[in-house]
Structure 1
C-alpha cells in the first residue's frame, strides 16, 4: 500500500513537472515568435518572427529586395501598378493605395507596414492595429530609400541582407561611373516625365535626380537648379517655353502620353538634346517614377543600355 502511494505521488509530481516544463516551453516559444520594435511614430509593435501575410502598400520594392512576398500589392485606380516588379509579384492581388479598412480586413494580414504618415490621418492607426501589428516605416522628405530599406530589414530581422542589397547597388553605380566615364564626366542630364500633355522635371536631390547628380555625377542644368529651389515633390511642372531653353546633353524621358501634342511643337523639336538624338525614352511601365533598391538598380541599367 505504502509503495503504491509513493508511486502515485511520484507520478503526480512527474505530471506537474511535465506541465510546468510545457508551460515554460510554450512561454519561451511565444517570446521567440514575437519581437517588439519601436516604429517611426514611436509605437511599440509586436512583430511576428516570420510573418506570412504582409501588406506593405508602395513598399513592395523593398519586400522583393529582401525576398518577402506581400499578400496584396499597391494600386492607384484601374491597372496602375508597379509594372517593373511584376516578375516577382505576378498573380498578387491589388489593394488601393489608401488601404481601405474593409479591404485590409479581407486579406487577413499578420503584419501591416505603413510607408507614409499621411496614410494614417484621421485615426487610422488604431483601426489598423486591431487587424494586425502595424509598423510605420521611416518616411518623410529627408528619408532615403536606403533608410527605408534598413528599417524594413530590421522588421524582418534581415539587416545583413539589406546591407548586401545596398553594397550590390553601390558596386553597380561605381562600375557604371568607371565604364561610362567619357559619357558622364562634364555632361549634363535631366529626367522629364510627360503625362496629359504636360511636362514635369525631377528635382536635383529627389528620386532619379539623386541618382543622376549625386551618385552618377552628371552635371545639373540651370533649369533643373531653378525648379529644384521651389520643388515640393519629386517632379515639378515645367513649361514647354522653359524647356526650349534647356541646355542638357541628355534627356531621360518617362513618357506616359505618347500622343502628346507638345511632341509635335517646334519648341520641342528644337531642344538641343532632342535635335542631337540624345533623347532617351522609357514607357510608363519602367521604374523611373518609383523609389527603392530595385527601382534604382533598373534605372542604372537603363542608363547603361542607352549610353552604350
Structure 2
C-alpha cells in the first residue's frame, strides 16, 4: 500500500512538472513572438522617414537607392549620394563634370524619362503644383523650391538630414570652412580697408545689380569671402533680403564699387564705349572682371566654393599687376 501511494505521488509530481514546462514554453513562445513583432515594427519604422515639405509631410525611403534629382545634384554628390538621374542642366554644371559618370539625363525634368528610371525618391526645385502631382505618381517626391536655402550651410545641413547623411554633411562643411578661410586670408592681404565690390549684369535687354543670394556668385563674394558691398547695394538688396534688382543702365554708377564683377548673358550686351560706363571709376582703373556664366550661374555648394577661389585669384592677380 505504501508503494502504491508513493507511485501516485510521483505520478502527480510528473504531471505538475509537465504542466509547468508547457506553461513556460508557451510564455517563451509568446515573448519571442512579441519580440519578433517589435523588431519588425522597428525595422519598418527605420525603413522610411517623414520630411516636411511645401506639400505637407512626405514619407520617403530612409535609404533610397534610386534617386532622381532636379537642381540639387551637386549637394547629393558631396554627401556621397549618387543619383541615377538628373536634369540636362544639372549635368552641364562645369563644377561637377568629373563626378557625374553613370548618371542618366532626364532632359528638362521629363516625366517620361524619370518614370523610365523607376526611382524610389524624387527631389526637385520645381514648385509648380502640376509638377508635384505628376512626379508624386511615380515615387515619393520632395519639392524644395529655388531660394529655399539662403546659404551653403543651410542647404548641406538640411539635405544631409533628409537623407540621413548628417555626418557627411558636417564633414564637408568643416572642409568648406577651412578652404573658405584660406581664400579670405588671400583676399585680405591684397584688399585695402574700405574697398568695395559690386556685381552687375546685362541680362537680355535689362541691367541688374546682385546681392548676396544665389545669383552671379553673390554668396561667394559677399557671404563667404566677406567682401564689402557699396552702401546702396547693402541697403537696397542685402539688408532688404533681395537677391537682385533691375536698374536703369544710366544709374549704374550709383551702385558701383571699387571693383566690379560683370555678367553678360541671355543675349545681354555691354557697350564699353558708352559714356555712362566709361565714367565709372572702377572702369577707369581697370578694376572690372567679366564673369564666365558657365562658372558663375550655378549656385550649389560646390560651385560657391569654386567661385570664391576664382574671385580670390582674380583680385590677387589684379593687385599684383600694380
TM-score in same-fold range (> 0.5) = yes
CA RMSD in angstroms, aligned pairs only = 3.6
Matched, 1:161 2:175: no
Q: 2:299 aligned to 270, 282, 291, which one?
A: 291
- CA pair 304-160 structure 1, distance change in 2 beyond 3 A: same
* Residue of structure 1 in register with 2:8 after alignment: none
Aligned residue in 2 for 1:219: 228
Q: 2:122 aligns with which of 92, 112, 121?
A: 112
SS at structure 2 position matched to 1:112: strand
The 1:142/1:301 distance shift into structure 2, 3 A limit, reads closer
Aligned residue number for residue 302 of structure 1: 310
Contact 1:245–1:271 (8 Å) recurs in 2: no
* Aligned partner of 1:267 among 246, 266, 276: 276
In the alignment, the residues of structure 1 paired with residue 163 and residue 71 of structure 2 have an alpha-carbon distance, to the nearest angstrom, of 17
Residue aligned with 1:252, SS = strand
Instruction: Give me the TM-score of the superposition, normalised by structure 2.
Output: 0.73
Distance 1:263 1:93 in 2: 42
Aligned counterpart, 1:4: none
Residue matched to 2:67: 54
Instruction: Write out per-residue CA displacement over residues 202-258 of structure 1, whole angstroms, 9 at most, x where no aligned residue.
Output: 124565434433433322214424642897863322322112344411112233269
Secondary structure of the residue aligned to 2:228 is coil
TM-score by structure 1 length? 0.76
**Offset of 1:80 from its aligned partner?**
9.1
Among 181, 198, 221, the residue aligned to 1:190: 198
What is the rounded CA distance, in whole Å, between the counterparts of 1:56 and 1:30 in structure 2? 27
Q: Which runs of 5+ in 1 are unaligned?
A: 1-19
What is aligned with 1:6?
A: none
Cα drift, residue 298 of structure 1: 0.8
Instruction: Tell me the CA shift for residue 302 of structure 1.
Output: 0.7
Change in CA separation of 1:196 and 1:263 when aligned onto 2, cut-off 3 Å: farther
Contact 1:54/1:112, CA 8 A, preserved across alignment: yes
* 1:33-73 alpha-carbon deviations (Å, 9 max, x no partner): 72222222331413141x33211201112112112222222
Query: Structure 1's 271 and 93: CA in aligned 2 closer, same or farther, altered over 3 A?
Result: farther
**Are 2:86 and 1:73 equivalent residues in the alignment?**
yes
Q: In the TM superposition, what is the alpha-carbon distance from 1:270 to its structure 2 partner?
A: 3.1
Work out which of the residue numbers 74, 96, 99 in structure 2 matches 1:85: 96
Shift of 1:91: 6.1
Unmatched 5+ stretches in structure 2: 1-32, 317-322
- The correspondence of residues 176-187 of structure 1 with structure 2, limited to 5 A, is 176-184=183-191, 185-187=193-195
3-state SS in 1 of match to 2:137: helix
Larger Rg: 2
Number of aligned residues: 282
> In 2, distance between residues paired with 1:297 and 1:261?
28
